[in-house]
């Protein structure tokens, strides 16, 4: 009977030691998982910050380009207006023999103005598209980071 009690006590001790080992393994693996999750969180925060900075820089660059194009448009418009005023001040009795050069200048300035206007419209459309596509880009980036989906399938 003493041997049976000794065997039961030995089995109880073995079960207790086994439970302690299982609990220790669970805690150590949970710490490792927590460290991995923290690394991914830090990486995703950095990625989102970089994405936000890139978008902000893009917006600033397009705003600067818009402002530069508007200034150029104003300058060319003022030059055209000055030339028109000068032409109007010339007496009507005097007709210049070579009006082709003035007409070509006027056409080239008008062409430049239309080109600048189309560039401004194009930049505004690109900025609008970028603002509309931003949520999808963020979802794709976050999905790639958080769910480990490869970009090339």
Distance CA 51, CA 55 (A): 6
Query: Are 137 and 51 in contact, with CB atoms under 8 Å apart?
Result: yes
Query: Are 44 and 142 in contact, with CB atoms under 8 Å apart?
Result: yes
Distance CA 112, CA 120 (A): 12
- Cβ-Cβ contacts under 8 Å for 124 (sequence gap 6 or more): 66
pLDDT digits (tens, 9 = 90+) for 115-153: 888 888 888 888 888 778 777 777 777 766 666 555 555
For the chain, state the CA radius of gyration: 37
Predicted TM-score (pTM) of the model is 0.37
């Amino acid at each position: 009977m003493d041997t049976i009690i000794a065997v039961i006590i030995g089995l109880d001790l073995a079960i207790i030691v086994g439970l302690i080992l299982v609990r220790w393994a669970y805690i150590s693996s949970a710490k490792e998982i927590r460290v991995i999750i923290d690394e991914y969180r830090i990486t995703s925060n950095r990625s989102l910050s970089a994405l936000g900075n890139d978008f902000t820089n893009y917006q600033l660059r397009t705003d600067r380009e818009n402002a530069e194009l508007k200034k150029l448009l104003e300058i060319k418009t003022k030059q055209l207006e000055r030339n028109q005023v000068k032409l109007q001040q010339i007496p009507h009795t005097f007709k210049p023999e070579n009006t082709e050069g003035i007409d070509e200048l006027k056409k080239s300035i008008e062409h430049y103005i239309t080109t600048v206007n189309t560039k401004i419209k194009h930049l505004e459309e690109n900025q609008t598209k970028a603002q509309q596509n931003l949520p999808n880009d963020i979802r794709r980036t976050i999905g790639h980071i958080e769910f480990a989906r490869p970009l090339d399938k």
